[in-house]
């Protein structure tokens, strides 16, 4: 059986999605301020590893990194509503790329599974 | 506490210190400038594993050779480091022209003792005899032993005030490099170019415009040069002449403050770019100059729809004062 990552299109899919997704994030008043002070290249690289993870691909960071990596954002007020927004934009991105609904919900499921770590509620 | 070894000497690290800071604190003369992982002047070599950030943007071959930015690597465990000489041997030269083109910008021409191979748009690290080091973009086109730099005098800036104020004709100077990834490549051959320079951010783009034209670049070349006031702009006549003689080249001098004037655009560069129409799919964009403006301008063109892979930049980061 092939993996979610393969079904979605692997690294190519990540490449196709990253600009669309990051553009949505920057244009979204609910969350854009969390992404504004970081250099674009750094952000693109970060979004790429996030998308790779959400697509079920090989991850290069652990849950602890997740928590550490978002600590400063949580201090600035990052909460559930922002995670909701990110998952929504992720879904919108995949829809635009004509990814089947069934795969989109699997991706949303993975993104959902790290919510606690991102918000610093669990290690 | 971690121990740092260099040239058979050992130093004890302090809380959250970088390798560069530890070496400097102990009296070692290590070149450095931006302290932001950009200029590469502080690069050294190690066989110990380093953090991702301290190799960000280095070529894979350099990473494998153990090169890393000492300004980015915290001394979080024991390290042994070595001099790298990787950006080539230092090149000596002499300042042969020092032209003050505005109340804050000086154009320097430096005759090199030996040729420097580079691509227009790259930068060099310039060393004063006391080892003070700063990065400046090459405004000249390669294949010449004379290079051109545009330097803007910043308030209380050590290097830039010296370069502007002192009489430096005949002054010996040393440089290393070239460094930087903001230059024309073959992939861009079939694109148009949109070049956006703020202040002396014009320098690398000025070189790129001339190199593109000289190499028979086919596409449209559009240059926006932004300054605070009309007087902040320079090389206006030269660029207007170039526009007259080359139909593929369009030049827009822009300033923020002051009365409007014919032949210039007056207003906010970011807003003007939001309105500027161009081929979003087939344009390579290059943005250079003040870091905050570079960030805003990059975001603006990205949000318009330009692919992140087609956006290049050089942010003129100045070293962080402690
Ligand atoms: C890749 C790269 C390319 C560069 N290319 C060029 C170039 O082509 N032309 C050019 O003029 N510069 C360029 N710079 C910037 C240059 O390297 C120096 O940072 C700049 O000349 C200031 O050096 P200084 O020694 O005069 O000032 P410093 O002594 O380093 O700084 C003195 C003080 O001035 C402040 N300061 C620094 N810059 C500014 C500013 N722009 N406005 C207000 N305050 C400031 C600093 O924060 C500091 O407090 C480039 C930088 C990089 C990283
Ligand atoms: S890269 Fe370290 S000082 Fe510039």
Task: Give pLDDT tens digits for B33-91.
Answer: 999 999 999 999 999 999 988 998 888 888 998 999 999 999 999 999 999 876 667 89
B16 versus B269: which is more confidently predicted? B269
State the ligand closest to the CA atom of B87. 2
Task: Give pLDDT tens digits for B10-24.
Answer: 999 998 899 999 999
Measured by CA distance, the residue closest to atom 43 of ligand 1 is B154
Query: Model confidence at A64, in pLDDT bands (50, 70, 90)?
Result: low
What would the mean pLDDT of B127-136 be, rounded to a whole number? Answer: 93
- Interface contacts A/B by beta carbons within 8 Å: 23
Taking all residues of chain A, what is their mean pLDDT, rounded to a whole number? 90
Contacts of A12 in chain B (CB under 8 A): none
Q: Taking 60 as the threshold, does the pLDDT of residue B321 lie above it?
A: no
| C-alpha–C-alpha distance, residues B13 and B25, integer Å | 10
- Identify the pLDDT of residue B322: 41
**pTM to 2 decimals?**
0.92
**Which 8-state DSSP code applies to residue B13?**
-
Asked if A4 and A109 touch (Cβ cutoff 8 Å), the reply is: no
Q: Taking 70 as the threshold, does the pLDDT of residue A46 lie above it?
A: yes
Sort strands B146-152 and B133-137 into parallel, antiparallel or unpaired: unpaired
What would the mean pLDDT of B139-167 be, rounded to a whole number? Answer: 94
What would the mean pLDDT of B155-184 be, rounded to a whole number? Answer: 94
Which range has the worst mean pLDDT, A12-26, A61-75, B41-55, B256-270? Answer: A61-75
Interface test with A, best of B36, B291, B299, B307 (most A CBs within 10 A): B299
Classified as helix, coil or strand, A51 is helix
Task: Give pLDDT tens digits for B193-234.
Answer: 999 999 999 999 999 999 999 999 999 999 999 999 999 999
Dihedrals φ, ψ of B230, to 5°? -50, -40
CA of B33 to the centre of ligand 2 (A): 6
- Identify the pLDDT of residue A65: 78
| C-alpha–C-alpha distance, residues B5 and B113, integer Å | 35
Q: Taking 50 as the threshold, does the pLDDT of residue A86 lie above it?
A: yes
- Long-range CB contacts for residues B165-171, cutoff 8 Å, separation at least 24: B167/B98, B168/B95, B168/B98, B168/B108, B169/B95, B169/B96, B169/B97, B169/B98, B170/B94, B170/B95, B170/B96, B171/B94, B171/B95
ipTM of model = 0.89
Mutate to test the pocket of ligand 1, among B160, B208, B321 (most ligand atoms within 8 A of CB): B160
User: Is ligand 2 within 6 A of the CB of residue B6?
Assistant: no
Q: Taking 90 as the threshold, does the pLDDT of residue B159 lie above it?
A: yes
């Amino acid at each position: 059986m092939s993996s979610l990552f393969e079904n979605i299109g692997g690294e190519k899919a990540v490449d196709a999605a990253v600009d669309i997704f990051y553009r949505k994030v920057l244009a979204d008043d609910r969350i854009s301020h969390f992404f504004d002070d970081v250099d674009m290249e750094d952000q693109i690289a970060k979004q790429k590893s996030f998308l790779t993870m959400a697509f079920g691909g090989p991850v290069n960071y652990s849950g602890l990194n997740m928590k550490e990596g978002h600590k400063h954002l949580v201090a600035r007020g990052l909460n559930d509503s922002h995670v909701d927004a990110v998952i929504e934009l992720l879904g919108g991105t995949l829809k635009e790329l004509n990814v089947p609904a069934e795969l989109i919900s699997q991706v949303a499921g993975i993104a959902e599974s790290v919510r606690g770590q991102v918000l610093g509620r669990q290690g | 506490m971690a121990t740092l070894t260099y040239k058979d000497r050992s130093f004890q690290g302090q809380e959250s210190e970088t390798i560069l800071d530890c070496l400097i604190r102990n009296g070692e003369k290590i070149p450095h400038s931006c302290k932001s992982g950009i200029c590469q002047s502080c690069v050294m070599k190690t066989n110990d594993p380093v953090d991702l950030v301290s190799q960000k943007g280095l070529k894979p071959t350099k990473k494998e050779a153990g090169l890393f930015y000492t300004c980015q690597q915290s001394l979080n465990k024991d390290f042994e480091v070595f001099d790298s000489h990787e950006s080539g041997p230092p090149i000596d030269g002499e300042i042969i022209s020092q032209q003050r083109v505005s109340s804050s910008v000086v154009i320097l021409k430096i005759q090199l003792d030996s040729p420097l191979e580079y691509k227009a748009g790259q930068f060099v690290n310039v060393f004063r005899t006391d080892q003070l080091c700063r990065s400046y973009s090459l405004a000249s086109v390669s294949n010449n032993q004379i290079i051109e730099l545009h330097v803007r005098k910043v308030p209380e800036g050590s290097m830039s005030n010296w370069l502007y104020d002192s009489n430096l004709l005949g002054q010996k100077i040393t440089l290393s490099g070239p460094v930087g990834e903001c230059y024309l490549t073959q992939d861009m051959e079939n694109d148009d170019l949109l070049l956006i320079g703020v202040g002396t951010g014009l320098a690398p783009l000025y070189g790129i415009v001339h190199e593109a034209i000289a190499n028979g670049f086919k596409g449209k070349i559009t240059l926006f040069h932004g300054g605070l006031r009309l007087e902040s702009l320079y090389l206006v006549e030269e660029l207007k002449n170039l526009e007259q003689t080359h139909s593929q080249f369009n030049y827009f001098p822009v300033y923020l403050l002051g009365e409007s004037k014919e032949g210039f655009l007056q207003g906010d560069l970011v807003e003007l770019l939001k309105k500027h129409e161009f081929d979003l799919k087939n344009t390579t964009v290059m943005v250079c100059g003040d870091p905050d403006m570079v960030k805003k301008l990059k975001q603006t063109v990205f949000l318009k729809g330009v692919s992140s892979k087609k956006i290049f930049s050089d942010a003129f980061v100045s070293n962080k004062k402690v």
